[in-house]
Amino acid sequence: MLTVNESQIGAATILECIGRLDVVTGPTLDAKIPDGGVVVLDMAGLNYVSSAGLRSILQALKKLQPKGGSLRLSSLQPDVQRLLELSGFLSLVKSFPDKDSAAKA
């Protein structure tokens, strides 16, 4: 199960992800990614990411970049951060300690 709550901090769209990001729940996140702008994935409530979840993050990045947008991650849980480090995602997407700093960067 994945819940994605949307809010704004300034011009940034905050997508608060709660639950698991995997092959079943990835489409829930995919549907929430806007066509442009700054998007912050607040992952404080995300306790699991599978390889299919990584694909959803990569697709969000690919959707935003051509239109001048950017994707930022915030509040990574230790297991999720380790996965993103090992997979090389943190060289593609910037990570911040909280959603406020990600939105204002």
Answer whether 28's CB lies under 8 Å from 53's CB: no
* pLDDT for residue 105: 87
Q: For residue 39, which of 29, 49, 27 has the smallest C-alpha distance?
A: 29
**Which residue(s) pair with 4 in the sheet?**
17
Answer whether 48's CB lies under 8 Å from 79's CB: yes
Structural domain boundaries of the chain? 2-104
Instruction: Round to whole Å and give the CA distance between 60 and 69.
Output: 10
- Residue identified by tokens 């297991």 is 79
Single pTM value for the model: 0.93
* pLDDT for residue 100: 96
Q: Hey, is 25 helix, strand or coil?
A: coil
Instruction: Round to whole Å and give the CA distance between 70 and 63.
Output: 9
Digit-coded pLDDT (tens) for 3-45:
999 999 999 999 999 999 999 999 999 999 999 999 999 999 9
Radius of gyration of the chain measured on its C-alpha atoms: 12
Q: What is the CATH number of domain 2-104?
A: 3.30.750.24
